[in-house]
Amino acid sequence: MNLPVLALGATFGMMSSLTGSTGDAPQAQFTTDWGSLARHKIPDWFRDAKFGIYFHWGIYSVPAFGNEWYSRNMYQAGSAENKHHVTTYGPTSAFGYKDFLPSFRAEHFDPDNWAKLFQDAGARFAGPVSEHADGFAMWDSKLTKWNAAQMGPHRDVVGEMARAVRKRGLKFATSFHHQWLWGWYANTDPNSDVYNPDNSGLYGPANPPASFDYGNPKPAPDDAFCTRWAANVHEVVERYRPDLIYFDSRMSIIPERYRQEMVADYYNHAQTWGHEVVLTYKKPDMPDSVAVEDLERGRMAEISPIPWMTDDAIDWNSWCDVVNPNYKSAKRLIDELVDIVSKNGCFLLDITPRADGTIPDPVRERLLTIGSWLKRNGEAIYGTRPYSVYGEGPTSTIGGAFGEEKIKDLTAQDVRYTTKKETLYAIVMGAPDVAIRLHAPVATANKVARITLIGSRDPVRWSKNNEGIVIEPPIVSPSHDAIVYKLALH
């Protein structure tokens, strides 16, 4: 039965009362079935934007050990995090995850400065993780006292970032990971603070270890958990009107009707606001046609006919700040962006602020390097569409999620293509010292009227033959990273 989403009083009527909504209900143009939700169109602003930034920043930034899974792993006997925690802070019965909250002060948090950095980096959409798997809300929530406005920073991080990002003319994005909370803290120590009922608002239900099974938790999430899961999303949607919502994996453990209601609620609100919005998912959590597929730490191997997204972290090993970071180079990130865009994708890059609200200098430097490259070459990225082939060269890319570490760095022998109107961009993934041979545009060669090198005033020496186009290396390369040849067609 296909009912308008906001007529489902049991779930969303409860949500409206909890969030204190007094406005008129959105017109129910989408109903709670996948067929109706598939009518939602991917907006052009997303296809044109290409690059966004978000950040994992929360209580887990205080210990800054291992990665953002510290909150779970500290309770798992024998894990590196557990050994570190017991040695450094004491047993989890005496010092639990909640006890890091007083140290999460965010005293240097400056949303305007962060938003300016994101803009300078060339991002066109940006925002925070609203709620990670740890169950701590980063907004001023009426649904739980365990939120950043009442504890820790005593700041409405989501709200402040929404205002700062939009003031810079960027689209506002946020993410949810809280389906992972089901079983997240489950452990075999009955004395840990996880099993104290006073802490259930943060840690969730006191479930057995089997509840953390990725796709088949035992027991499965109950109605109370699922209703609360949906209510948290609804509250952020209604209060902050995000332009893009990213969802982490494991959403398939939430029964289908809750997922359908959540999506319909977001799309119907957007209709009421007059906004074009984006929702991302990871397979198999939703049908392909309902939202934008996201590949975590991975890429498409070929051009996708449907727009898609990659989310990846600036650190090879962690999504949050840690004491021994292993940052990717700026060139690696530029190459990843170009490769993704050439295949009809967008790139959402995660950065790692410290618990005190500062952004590490190496992170800032990498973002500004990306921004400098985009300032010069952005016309080959923003607003472009794929060519008939994504590129050519000796370096292959592996398709699918979690393949990023297996992909080798691109070289000056690798080329990626994008198009815009009567222009073909050939992006050479390094500074070449030998002739560049473009075999892919052989069918286009006779249409090339002129070739220029973006960022250089020197004339480009080139020729065409039956195998394509040959471009002599530049006298002076405008970049040690990727360089962009602009092929004007007639």
pLDDT averaged over every residue in the chain: 93
Residue 361 has pLDDT above 50, yes or no: yes
How confident is the model over 319-340, as a mean pLDDT?
98
Structure tokens at 335: 């190459």
> Which SS3 state, helix, strand or coil, does residue 436 take?
strand
CA torsion sign for 158, 160, 166, 170 is negative
How confident is the model over 43-52, as a mean pLDDT?
98
> What's the alpha-carbon Rg for the chain, to the nearest Å?
24
Instruction: Please state the domain extents for the chain.
Output: 25-380, 402-489
Residue 1 has pLDDT above 90, yes or no: no
Residue 14 has pLDDT above 50, yes or no: no
**Of 20-24, 286-290, 354-358, 412-416, where does mean pLDDT reach its minimum?**
20-24
Please state which of the four CATH numbers 2.150.10.10, 1.25.40.10, 2.40.30.40, 2.60.40.1180 is assigned to the domain occupying 402-489: 2.60.40.1180
Per residue in 396-437, pLDDT tens?
889 999 999 999 999 999 999 999 999 999 999 999 999 999
Q: How far is CA 103 from CA 60, 120, 318, 397, 409, in A?
A: 11, 30, 20, 42, 39
How confident is the model over 384-399, as a mean pLDDT?
95
Residue 302 has pLDDT above 70, yes or no: yes
Residue 9 has pLDDT above 70, yes or no: no
How confident is the model over 39-61, as a mean pLDDT?
98
Same CATH fold assignment for domains 25-380 and 402-489: no
**Cβ-contact 152, 104 below 8 angstroms:** yes
The residues with which 310 forms a beta bridge, in sequence order, are 295, 347
Instruction: Report the alpha-carbon distance of residue 221 to residue 376 in Å, rounded.
Output: 50
Instruction: Report the alpha-carbon distance of residue 473 to residue 432 in Å, rounded.
Output: 6
Q: Has this prediction a pTM greater than 0.75?
A: yes
**Cβ-contact 126, 118 below 8 angstroms:** yes
CATH topology of domain 25-380: TIM Barrel (3.20.20)
How confident is the model over 43-55, as a mean pLDDT?
98
pLDDT at 142: 98
Residue 156 has pLDDT above 60, yes or no: yes
User: Could you tell me the pLDDT band of residue 445, with boundaries at 50, 70 and 90?
Assistant: confident
Per residue in 217-274, pLDDT tens?
999 999 999 999 999 999 999 999 999 999 999 999 999 999 999 999 999 999 999 9
Instruction: Please report, rounded to a whole number, the percentage of residues in the chain having pLDDT higher than 70.
Output: 94
